[in-house]
Amino acid sequence: MKPKKVTKAVFPVAGLGTRFLPATKSIPKEIMTLVDRPLIQYAIDEARSAGIKDFIFVTSRGKSALEDYFDTAPELENALKKSGKEQLLEILKSTNMDSGAIAYLRQNRPLGLGHAVWCARKLIGDEPFAVLLPDDVIAAEKPCLAQMVEAYEETGGNMVAAMEVAPEKASSYGVLDIGEDMGAIVRAKGMVEKPKADEAPSNLAVIGRYILSPKVLNNLNRLKQGAGGEIQLTDAIAEETGPDGSGVFGFRFRGMRYDCGSKAGFLQATVAFGLSRPDLRDEFSAYLRDMMAQLRAAE
């Protein structure tokens, strides 16, 4: 029997974004732009293309720019219409969300990703749901969540996006303890958040895309603070690897993930997305070549 369709997605955006201070003193991290689109737009587009219909944002104080971003902007639309800027008008319209498609919930204290997801429990109800962390941006021919939905239709249970990382980096991630390796899909027999350098069960790290069963929300009900003093989503998912759980699968997605929650990752994504844009590629690549030549000459 095929699992129930995934139509709801949670976007936890209530974090403090301290790695981008002072910018995040007044701008939500998710509104920062890669070329000309805010991070959140990439996540929304990815969710839409995977069949998501209900978008649940878990926000916090100071995130109103994020909420405004999805409103229609009639004045701007009229101005573009009047001046015949049809292409820009289309781009603008593609950011509008249907009335009622987005719900905003507040996480009143940043108690961790697990807690942020738990805040959405009443809107999720008894259905499988996706979680997307907008600061993980994934460039892929077929969007990562759509790849996962396809795989999930075969496995059911819980599915987390996973990628191999250098062993010395594993302690920055949730890491899978691999039970059975089937290639693109692995069955996990455990999962640990930010393991100590010599205790990582593998170097298959979990990144910010998940498809979860509502049982994970029940597990979150009981959870105490875990690694780093936060309520960890990883711990609630890990409970599902046990004999009574619904199973956890890691999915090696096809694509390139950029950690836009870090400055280096954000800069790398900016270069990659800039170079992938036909309207910018020539000028930008000529500039980068010049820069590289100057750097080499200075060495």
**Footprint of ligand UTP (CB under 6 A):** 12-19, 29, 58, 107, 110-113, 115-116, 133, 135, 261
Check if the beta carbon of residue 188 is closer than 8 Å to that of residue 249. Answer: yes
> Please, what is the minimum distance in Å from the beta carbon of residue 228 to ligand UTP?
9
- For ligand UTP, the closer of residues 174 and 250 by Cβ is 174
Contact 5, 130 (CB under 8 A): no
Least Cβ distance, residue 137 to ligand UTP (angstroms): 12
Give 16 or 256: the residue with its C-beta nearer to ligand UTP: 16
Taking the complex as a whole, the smallest distance from the CB of residue 150 to ligand UTP amounts, in Å, to: 24
Contact 209, 160 (CB under 8 A): yes
Residue 126 to residue 213: CA distance in whole angstroms: 8
Shortest distance in whole angstroms from residue 82 CB to ligand UTP: 38
Tell me if 14 sits within 8 A of 63, measured CB to CB: yes
Closer to ligand UTP by Cβ: residue 67 or 77: 67
What is d(CA 274, CA 271) in angstroms, rounded to the nearest whole number? 5
Between 175 and 185, name the residue whose CB sits nearer to ligand UTP. 175
Identity of the residue, 80 or 269, whose beta carbon is nearer to ligand UTP in the bound complex: 269
Shortest distance, position 189 Cβ to ligand UTP, whole Å? 25
- Return the H-helix or E-strand segment holding 106: strand 102-106
- For the chain, the maximum distance between any two Cα atoms, rounded to a whole number of angstroms, is 63
CA neighbor of 35 nearest in space, from 261, 290, 256, 267: 267
